[in-house]
Chains A and B, each alone.
Chain A
């Protein structure tokens, strides 16, 4: 028998080996339709990608907007500025000359005003609100700008300090001014000033002239002595370092999410295996099959990226006003770093596509018959992954240890973090095997739950890694917060000057580093008793007298130090500064006497102090500094001062650093070398809780009455409060991951549930099954996350282990017990429905 073989019609000839663009369009269309139908099953990956992009969007916006711009806060919109001291004998003539040469220009006059009872000062500022360059430095909050000679507008902090409000009258230094409004400097919200109309500052301390001029024109002009024109620094274009850092962290996060996504897409490939097999049976090539899952990955990535960017931008827009007080300047809600956001979105899509690659490759390589039968490939042994995970964890922790040893090398920290996160992900499946083994003799529902976790390791392992990461992040924040609190307990500051629970009363009205020369011993005792009585009202946890060394021949060198009030003196640190005129020395802070009480305050035994030490300090930047027998508030050390040019400095880490706290102490040896004697300088008062505004106000009143001054923390609040929300967010993220994973696993095992029901298991068994699945995953995740977090922080902060002596038991209990309990309770409450009757659905 013979047959006639027909020629294939021309239009059926392939346009390419894989059917060309029509075939690709067909499979992509199917992938898109499947995503629309089954996006809920991919919610975990979607949510993680969206969270990463949202975090990056908000984080990059934060990084771009949070740091204050000194340039904008100083120059306004001007390109140049010149500052002239108020002591310039030809001030008005000089101002006029500069204005003539560099018109248009704007003059801002400032006069420093003391706050009664405080070491702090405010600025009385004469500035035209409609000025050509300084408009961006002023904003009206309430009322109106001052227009006449007896009018003033104040910042809210000044209003609070002096008890003013719009319409009230301010008596200040013999002037009576009516408050016309509340103002602020949008570029610097910590700028405390009182605004008056131009020309209303009678004796300015400083005059600033803003203008725009060509560099050659500025260079060719002879500015008055002591005044120098400064050109606005050129801004950097592109993505700033901090925004770049956020993008690096985003990449790290996406790396982890990519791992979770691989597992998620593997699950999706398994769910669609029979459909993919059918596609192969219809004649789809391997590339076509691969494209289905890659297209799904791209769609998931794009959806997550868009959702994340929108959520992140919305969160930023909502939170920006709340962040302003922390930033210290007004933040534009729509000032978003678009290139960084676009970068994060592209990264998210790439991560998702890359994560889909491996499942796509596996599915495409699977024999069509195996795919049609819906049989998954054999799972990889967990032992190999666990070994890899263990090795990565070890490498990560070692990198963090080395980073700590080498002063926190960024690359080592980065490598350590990446390796630790990857290691954490890879140990998950082995831990699940251990859980299943541990539950051998548990009740049937628990046993079944643990075995199901082991059976569906692809998704439970990924979920465990995600829960571990969420719990680990929360634990890291809790531990870091506790560490910060421990450092605060060691009086390490959280702000630029003092911790929130500290207050220093200076015995001298001239403030830090000075002593009042005219006080008799009796007066000193009276003042001490008064301060102690006041401290008693604060219920202090510490009350430490501060003493400094002063010269016996006081007064003999006062002529050489004309910038300091007469007869206020104490020994002080001196450093060389290039901007100082010869002899190029500048006061760099007080050196308090290393008294036994002060040493004990910081846990230092006298025996720890070297007999050769002149100074002990927590600072590592003192090398090359000198110690002088007197002080100057600026440049101006000259004759009559004794110096130790190469003091022996002993570094003691437990002393606080970079604050008004006693960072550097002078020993009796140093005192002897400089011929100093001891004088009281003040008292350090520490309370259990942060000082309230009422307590600070009471301290200022006491100080004003006693003729001394107090210093408290700067008014900018800390970000610590936000961390609690971040901890809560970590817990919620963990619970969200659990909810989705447990839902997936339980839906996969619906057949088992039906069998259980058919054999007589009731609702409580089904509830216990779900609760055990969720609870065990949460417990394992919480334990792994917390242990890894602790190990990582220990490795990274090995040199400051003393700050970790106190374990934040309460917070960790919330993570280790609260998270599993919440997960188990949620599982119990949400489970218990009768399983659907149909045992198996066809692929459609």
Chain B
């Protein structure tokens, strides 16, 4: 008698999709991952994504407290940190800020960051900023 071919290979990729999506939904709910990213298929479902998320960065040192622009060298780590503001991502961004400030010969001891997102009023669409996370990195 001929053995019926196993069906499990057809289920592997869909199972991987479900696992990744479950993790994405969890991270979006508890750790502020943007619904658009992470493989959970939340794109085109929410305004909580890159154009409406941002990070304010302040470099501090004795006699210095300066709000920094996101320079081209910081764009990528800033985009990652805004999309998923975890301790790891924010520390990576802070280290990139420190490296840049040192290249510019600017003193820095602490990097303070505030991740925000834009909320829109359901009727008037008026936009307001809402803080998602604050983070402070002190150079060890």
A-B complex is real: no
